[in-house]
Each structure stands twice: as C-alpha cells, then as structure tokens.
Amino acid sequence: MLLNQFLLLGAVLFGTGVYGVLTRRHTVLVLMSIELMLAAVNINLVAFGAFSGSVAGQVFALFVLTIAAAEVGVGLAIVLLIFRNLHSSDLDDVDVLKG
Amino acid sequence: MTVLAQALDAAVDTPRVDWLAIAPETVLFGAAVAIVLGRALARRRPLVDEASFLTALVGVVAAGVFTFVQWVVVDGDGPYQAIAGMVAVDGFAVFVRTVVLIATFLGLLLSAGYLRREGLEAPEYHALMLCSATGMMLMASANDLIVVFLALEILSIALYVLVAFDRRRVTSQEAGLKYFLLGSFSSAVLLYGIALVYGGTGTTNLTRIARFLAGTTLLEEGVLLTGLVLMLVGLGFKVAAAPFHMWAPDVYQGSPTPVVSFMGGATKAAAFAAILRVYAGAFELYRVDWRPAVWALAVLSLVVGSVAALVQTDVKRMLAYSSVAHAGYVLIGVQVGNEAGTTAALYYVMAYTLMVFGAFAVVTVVGRRGDRRHELADYRGLAGAQPVLAALLTLFLLAQAGVPLTGGFVAKLSVFDAAVDAGQYWLALVGMLAAAVSAFVYLRIVLAMYAPEDDGPAVAARPVRVDLAAAVALAIAAAGVLFLGLLPDVVLDFARDATQLLAAGGRAGA
C-alpha cells in the first residue's frame, strides 16, 4: 500500500477528532474525540516508521498509547468529581468561571 | 535445557545509562514515590503530612545539588548527550532546571500554610508537585521529540490533578476540567506535528534532525512545515500565547492559588525551553519559515494580554492575562532566534518566575479561607491593614510592569535590546507599547490597595495570618526580584554561558 493512503486515513481521523472536540457538548464524548486524534497520530507514526524503516515510530506509538491511558484516567476522575458536585457532565453546565 | 543454560550464562548487553544526566529528575521522582508509599503504609496521618512536606523539600534540595554538579561538569568538560542522545546535558538545561527548582521550592513552602488553611492537607499534593517538576526538568534537557512529548505529559497530567485539587470548590474542578480538555487537545495537536516532522526527516532526535536538514535539500517541504506549525500550536498552548490562551484566565482564576504561583512561571520555563531547543536549535536552518509565525504569536500575545487585562475585575484573571503578555515578551526573544535572543528569553523566564510567584503568593495569603476574595474591591485599603503584604505585592507588580531596579526591567530591556539589534524594530515597538498598557493594569491593583476605605468596615482591614513558610517564600521571591534588578550581571552571565553551552552542544553532537 502507498504511504499516502495511511496518511490520508490519519488526517481524516484527526479531522474527525478535532470536529468532535469542537462540537460535542458532553465531556465524555469530547474525551473520546481526543482519543481519536491520538489514534490518528499513532497511524501516522507507524506508517512513517514502516516507510523509513526505523523502529522509532512504533516505539513512539507505544508511548502515546500509554500516555493516552494515563490521560483518560485523570480526565475521567475530574469528570466524576464534577458530576458529584453538579450532577451533570455537560460542558454547557460547567460555566462558573468567565469574564 | 542446554539452550536455556546458555542463555542464562550469556552476558546481557545493557545500554549504558549516564545517571548523572537524569539524576535531578530521578531524585525528584524518587521523593514523589517515597511520599506516596509513606502515605499508603503509615498509620498516623498528621505525621505523614509533615513528613511528606519535608521529604519534598529535601528532594528539591537534593535535585538542586545534582543540577549544580551537572553545571560544574558542563562548565569544565563542555556539554554532552546521554542515553542514546535522548537527553542533552548542557548549560541551557541547567539554567532552566534551576528556574524550575526555585519555583518548586517556593511553591512547596507557600502550599504548606494554604493546605492547612483550606483543610486540604494531603501528601499526594506534594507528590504531584514533584512529579510535575520532574516533567519540567526533563523537558529542559529533552533532545528528542519523544522525550519532549513524554516530559510535557508528565508535567501536564500532574498539573491537571493539582488544578482540580480542591474537592469542595467547584470552580477548582471546572478549572481542572478546562485545563485538562484544552491541554490534552493541544498535546494531540503537538503530537500530530511531531509525527509529521518525524515523517519529513525520518528521525525524532533533534541533533539528527539538524544534521539531516543541513545535509539534505527537501523538494517537498509541505509535511515538515505543517509539522512545524502544529508543534508551535501545541507548545503555544502550554505557554498560553495568544490566540491559544483561552484556558489561562479560567484556570488561573479557578485553581488553588499556590498551584498557580508554581505553574505560572515553571510551566512557561519548561515549555519555552522546548520551543528554544526545537526551533532555535534543531530547526535553525528553517528560521525563514518559523520566524513569521512566532512573530505573529508574540504580537498577538502582547496585544491581547495587555488589553484584555484592562477590563478584568478579578485580580487573578488580571494576572492571568498579564501572563499572556509576558509570554509575548519571551516570544520576542525566541523570534530573534540568535544567541542574544535566547539569553534574553532565559533571563526573562527566570525573572518572570520570581515575579509571578511573588504576586500569586500575596494573592494566596490575602485570599483568606475559601480562596475566594480575589475581586479588585477586596484589595481596597489593604495597605492600611497589611502594610508589608501590600508593599510586597506592589514590588512584584511594579517588577512585572518593568520598573527600573527590579528584575522585570532588566528582563524587558534585554529582550527589546536583542530585538533591536536584530533589526526587529516593529516587534520592539509593540512590546514597549504593550508594556505601557500593562502598567495601567498593575497600577490599578496598587492604587486599589493604597486607596482609603470609603464605605463600611472594609474586608481587607481584618488582619490575615502569614505562616512562617509562606513568609520565607515571599522573602526569597522579593529578594530574588530585587537581586535580578540590582545585580543583573550575575544571572545574565549565567544565561549567556548557558546559551553558549547549548550552541556548542548542538555542534559537538553533530
């Protein structure tokens, strides 16, 4: 397969993720969209790694997976904390701070 | 069976790890792990809180000692790279590590009294602060895009939790959520940029990228340039440069104030270290391409930061917008892109760390229980009731405004000097105008403090207790700001040496 095909898939996934972050109002869906962006990056990294024949890309992808898991853990904890206080996990309800 | 025996006998080829190169990070992280373990194993809670605080302080001091050893080594034998070129041990890293360690030490001192006042005492707080500092220190010496990303995440994930640390105050959690969502979004953008740069150059090592770019003429630069832009967006988020500053006011306002005083300077120092190393270092040959982008970021940050701060009524939000403007001043140094620019940026980061720590430290103390009294009106008549605190806040605000005899003046001067020397007259002009506009913001707070209380018993008139640790932290910050203003040569020389040792490191590694 051509490198371009992987890059296109990555770009489409990344774009979908960005769209989700910008339009979704539910915190968990925004989180999932960010995960989609990270998955797109992983596709790019692995594709570039295979293309250039170095393992660095795949090693990097493993690091990204690990970090993404840690990030989701912390993110969901914060969402849970907010849900306990506000009984909502909708981003529109979280608007005490502004000015 | 014999195969297994042979395999057991054969010496395992282990990669050489230069422990000195990552000693400060190891010590800090070790202290964090010790704190968490102690929390899990010990029975008596009050003792654990005290012990974790002391462990954290000892960890920071020990990391400082190792950083000093690194400086001695680098100063004598020159900069080098360690752990398969992943980290660079050079003057630049030592300088930024010093800034981070100062911020962490002061932040720990300030937090002790705050946590007691708010009833939030938890050993995890200290552990998280050390984790975050570990990430910042690692970022200062990162010589590989993988390490840049890992360090950024180590520092960010710990900070997300710290910002949302106040379980009872919903504003703290809201700040945490906003910081988390925008922070991880920007990390993903940065990561996409890194992936594209990796695709364009075939390596993630900054030294090898520089070598590749020097020896190859790229016919198709699109992938690489897109990667450069996306990385700038991701790092711009972390330093709160406009137009990627939307999170800063909300996060600064909502999070526990000692956390802001710690992260305000230290996060910027770490992220600017990465920006300088990647752009002024590895992509020096592409200056023509990235300088206009940094120019735009700098001008936007200066204008947005200083103008938006004018209309705020909350002191923490004012300082948040002014931090956006400060990011703009450092970006001027980055944009200049030569040795003078890097030196000025380093000096600015050091001065800013002390100024912003001091300002938020006073805000912490006068915020009172609940961490809520941060309206400008709450500062009316503060000078009458708390002359020392008011004088200190005045000092820190005047330093941020760039008044002579303070560190802020020398910092701004060296940044403008570097810009003018490089022929960037417009940038210097915008910077000076922004400084004039920001001065109004700081004067508004100062005037409010020294204004007479007009109606009823002013809230500020009630005395606040300043605990010993916070007083020590404030004294150190104030002394530092004055020292940087009165004897700037000491730190300026340090920054200059640091920059030269960075440049040498780039050549020697290649």
For A10-39, write each residue's pLDDT tens digit: 999 999 999 999 998 889 999 999 999 999
CA distance linking residue A66 with residue A75, whole number of Å: 14
Query: Any chain A CB within 8 A of the CB of B180?
Result: yes
pLDDT of residue B2: 60
Interface touch A63/B170, C-beta < 8 Å: no
Name the average pLDDT for chain B.
89
Chain A residue with the nearest C-alpha to that of B173: A82
DSSP symbol at B82 = E
| Integer angstrom CA distances of residue B365 from B54, B108, B250, B326, B371 | 21, 14, 20, 23, 9
pLDDT band at B15 (very low <50, low <70, confident <90, very high): confident
Residue B482 predicted with pLDDT over 80? yes
Residue B54 predicted with pLDDT over 50? yes
Tens-place pLDDT, residues B182-228: 999 999 999 999 999 999 998 999 999 999 998 887 777 889 999 99
Tokens 């979908």 belong to A16
Residue B305 predicted with pLDDT over 90? yes
Residue B9 predicted with pLDDT over 90? no
* B113-122 average pLDDT score: 89
* B304-318 average pLDDT score: 92
* B352-366 average pLDDT score: 94
Chain B residue with the nearest C-alpha to that of A99: B312
* B307-311 average pLDDT score: 92
Chain A residue with the nearest C-alpha to that of B185: A34
Query: Any chain A CB within 8 A of the CB of B421?
Result: no
**Cβ count near B377 (within 10 Å):** 12
- The closest CB to that of B173, out of A30, A37, A78, belongs to A78
pLDDT band at B453 (very low <50, low <70, confident <90, very high): low
Residue B508 predicted with pLDDT over 50? no
Interface touch A14/B192, C-beta < 8 Å: yes
Tens-place pLDDT, residues B250-283: 999 999 999 999 999 999 999 999 999 999 888 9
Residue B424 predicted with pLDDT over 70? yes
State the smallest CA–CA distance between residue A1 and chain B in angstroms: 16
Tens-place pLDDT, residues B373-402: 888 888 888 888 888 999 999 999 999 999
- Dig out the tokens for B388 from the structure: 């020392």
Tens-place pLDDT, residues A43-90: 999 999 998 888 889 999 999 999 999 999 999 999 999 888 888 778
pLDDT band at B6 (very low <50, low <70, confident <90, very high): low
Residue B455 predicted with pLDDT over 80? no
Residues of A in Cβ contact (< 8 Å) with B174: 82, 94-97
Q: What is the pTM of this model?
A: 0.93
Residue B506 predicted with pLDDT over 50? no
pLDDT band at B504 (very low <50, low <70, confident <90, very high): very low
Residue B49 predicted with pLDDT over 90? no
CA distance linking residue B205 with residue B198, whole number of Å: 9
CA distance linking residue B152 with residue B76, whole number of Å: 30
Alpha helices per DSSP H over B164-205: 170-201
Query: Any chain A CB within 8 A of the CB of B317?
Result: yes
Structural domains of chain A in order of their starting residue, each with its CATH number: 3-92 (1.10.287.3510)
Interface touch A56/B203, C-beta < 8 Å: yes
State the smallest CA–CA distance between residue A24 and chain B in angstroms: 12
Q: Is A36 buried (19+), middle (13-18) or exposed (0-12) by CB count in 10 A? A: buried
For A91, residues 6+ apart whose C-beta sits below 8 A from its C-beta are A25, A26, A27, A30
Residues of B in Cβ contact (< 8 Å) with A94: 174, 177-178
- Compute the count of residue pairs across chains A and B with CB atoms less than 8 Å apart: 122
B368 φ, ψ (degrees, to nearest 5) = 60, 175
- The closest CB to that of A48, out of B161, B188, B195, belongs to B195
State the smallest CA–CA distance between residue B230 and chain A in angstroms: 12
